[in-house]
Each structure stands twice: as C-alpha cells, then as structure tokens.
Amino acid sequence: MKILSVSEPLLADWLRLRILLWPNTEDAHLIEMRQLLAEKKLYN
C-alpha cells in the first residue's frame, strides 16, 4: 500500500489528534505511523 506524501508537522498533528480522540486505540495503522515517524527521525 502506498502512503501519500504528507508534511511531517501535519502528520504529527494528526497523530496527536488521533491519540486524543482514541486514547485506547492502538491499532495497526497507528503503530505503523509511529514506526514511520521514528524511522524518519533516524534517517534525517
């Protein structure tokens, strides 16, 4: 599955919003997004 290019600040805001709205939801998509952000920080 291709991931759309999204600016990092927007992605971070979306993650924060998602965590606020669904604090107990730790689904595969959220975990994947966190991993992508972590990898981005490692390689930048």
Number of domains into which the chain is organized: 1
pLDDT > 90: what percent of the chain? 0
Tens of pLDDT, residues 20-39: 777 666 676 777 778 888 88
Helices (H), the chain: 8-21, 28-43
pLDDT exceeds 70 at position 41:
yes
Domain range spanning residue 27?
8-43
Whole-angstrom distance, CA of residue 44 vs CA of residue 31 = 20
Tell me what the pLDDT averaged over the chain comes to.
72
Whether 3 is covered by a domain: the verdict is: no
Start-to-end C-alpha separation, the chain: 23
- pLDDT for 1 equals 47
- What's CA 21's distance to the chain center, in Å? 14
Whether 2 is covered by a domain: the verdict is: no
pTM over the 0.85 mark: no
11, 32 contact by CB (below 8 A) = no
